[in-house]
Amino acid sequence: MWLPRVAVAAVLASIPATHGLPSSPVDVVSLSVDGRFESPLGFGNARPTLAWQMTQSGDCNEPVCPSDRQTAYEIQAAISIADLEAGHFTWQSGQVNSSAQNALFGHELSSRDRVA
């Protein structure tokens, strides 16, 4: 089972979703915060909805490819990309067994909070 790591930024508009993961025939694309794809800065929701889509990134010669359906996800959030890469998370969803491609942020954000 392949788990996409979804990185949504409240300050940085675009972060490679598969950053730091082994190569996979699946990409996580169309990251959004409360439906906003570009510059999700200054939104008024203290607990925004994070959303994503999955797409096959390469040829798949197997009868069932990992991109056929999502069975679980894990969201990891940090103050910066460096903290995200180092595993210093401000919130981590843990593995959620679900085909849903959206989730509420794990806790309420305060004014001027930064999340990567």
For the chain, give every domain's residue range: 5-58+67-104
pLDDT tens-digit map of 66-75: 556 788 889 9
Put simply, whether the predicted model's pTM sits higher than 0.85 gets the answer no
Please give the pLDDT value at position 112.
Answer: 77
For residues 7 and 17, what is the distance between their CA atoms, to the nearest angstrom? 5
Please give the pLDDT value at position 103.
Answer: 94
pLDDT tens-digit map of 11-28: 222 333 444 444 566 778
Range 5-58+67-104: architecture per CATH: Sandwich (2.60)
Please give the pLDDT value at position 113.
Answer: 75
Q: Give the H or E element holding residue 26.
A: strand 26-33
**Per-residue DSSP letters for 58-107?**
S---SSS-GGG----BEEEE-SSHHHHHHT--SEE---B----SEEE-SS
* Two tokens, residue 4: 């996409």
**Distance from chain centroid for Cα 83:** 15
Low-confidence ranges of the chain (pLDDT < 50): 1-22
